[in-house]
Amino acid sequence: MENRSTNSGAPPRMMNAIIAGFNIVTNNLGLLVLPVLIDLFLWLGPQVSVRQALKPAIDDVVRLLQQINTPQVASQMTVISETWEKILTEFNLLGTIRTMPIGVPSLMSSTLTESTPLGAALVIEIPTIAAAFGVWMAIILVGFAVGCIYFGLLARATAGDGGAFEFQAFFKKVLYALALTFSLVLALIVITIPALMLISVIALISPGLGDFAMLFAGFLLIWMLLPLVFTPHAIFSSKSGLVVSAMTSVRLVRHFMPGTGTFLIVALVISQGMNVLWRVPPTSSWMTLVGILGHAFILTAVFAASFVYFRNGMRWMAENSLPFRPQEIKT
């Protein structure tokens, strides 16, 4: 399908990109297969619980904190223990198949499935922390691999590319995407751990000031990561490496601000706002299937729109002879 969401010589337009994204998905319904299959598995399949593996360790930590703290603080440890009990009871390890920043959108990854139209959900308990870690890593790898396939299909659909699939080129893109994921995780660790320590010290001095510091740190983190939002798009839409893709994303976001920020906010509102509707039916009802299909269609259209917006932005910069453009981006 040929992408004609913007006129030649015009910068990327939010509404044109969103409309083009919905049109692309309407004409390529096969793009919905992966998100629908994953949600069906998370809904009707087994639930993997780590409660048996983590609960003893959490209880030991709570008992230690009760012993070393004052009676007033120790009494609050019971609330913490009950909170963790609720979290572990409602947590499905299979839901971590929804990887970030590259992954397949999923409605059921954050939804507890206590019962299904087929009966009570089967819960599989993982007995040890080591086993839980191994299973978690396997799920993450599967989610990442499926996410790369999903992004690759979106890149081809938004480019109207009907050429032969090149495994070697796609494998390189997967490696770049893996490097991007590791880089972001490492950066988050390096940034957030000192920031949380500093915020904790501020909160001890003044709880109100601590809340403000947490809010400020959140906005600062978003401001730092926002320019990289189109890095996956550049990776899967071109033959550029990770560094060039990241620089391309930074340049595009900064060049088209505040339009890019508006597009991202509208895309977030559409996806998250519709999620409220899709989660209305209980998991024991077959109406949940409607929510799964609707969620897959809306989120895939939003992702397709982001690819269209990215391609239109790159086309505009190329037509205006702006320097430093990535090689072989098909528009």
Residue 22 has a pLDDT of 95
Residue 182 lies inside a defined structural domain of this protein: yes
Distances in Å between the Cα of 329 and the Cα atoms of 5, 235, 237, 291 are 17, 10, 6, 35
Number of structural domains in the chain: 1
Q: Please give the chain's pLDDT, 331 residues, in tens.
A: 444 444 445 678 889 999 999 999 999 999 999 999 999 999 998 999 888 888 888 888 777 777 776 666 666 677 777 788 888 888 889 999 999 889 999 999 877 788 888 888 888 899 899 999 999 999 999 999 999 999 999 999 998 765 567 788 889 999 999 999 999 989 888 888 888 888 777 777 777 787 788 888 888 888 888 899 999 999 998 888 899 999 999 989 988 888 888 999 999 999 888 988 898 888 889 999 999 999 999 999 999 999 999 999 888 888 775 554 444 454 4
- pTM for the whole thing? 0.86
Residue 291 has a pLDDT of 93
* Contact between 324 and 171 (Cβ < 8 Å): no
Residue 102 has a pLDDT of 93
Residue 88 lies inside a defined structural domain of this protein: no
Residue 142 lies inside a defined structural domain of this protein: no
* Contact between 14 and 262 (Cβ < 8 Å): yes
188: how many CB neighbours lie within 10 A of its CB?
12
Residue 294 has a pLDDT of 94
Which of 324, 328, 314, 327 lies closest to 253, judged by CA? 314
Residue 9 lies inside a defined structural domain of this protein: no
Residue 296 lies inside a defined structural domain of this protein: yes
Residue 258 lies inside a defined structural domain of this protein: yes
Residue 154 lies inside a defined structural domain of this protein: no
**CA torsion through residues 178, 179, 184, 189, sign:** positive
Residue 117 lies inside a defined structural domain of this protein: no
Residue 113 has a pLDDT of 82
| Beta partners for residue 47, in sequence order | 123
Rg (the chain; Cα; Å): 22
Domain span at residue 36?
A: 14-44+164-319
**What are 127's two structure tokens?**
């007995």
Q: What is the DSSP string of 249-294?
A: HHHHHHHTTTHHHHHHHHHHHHHHHHHHHHT-S-TTSTTHHHHHHH
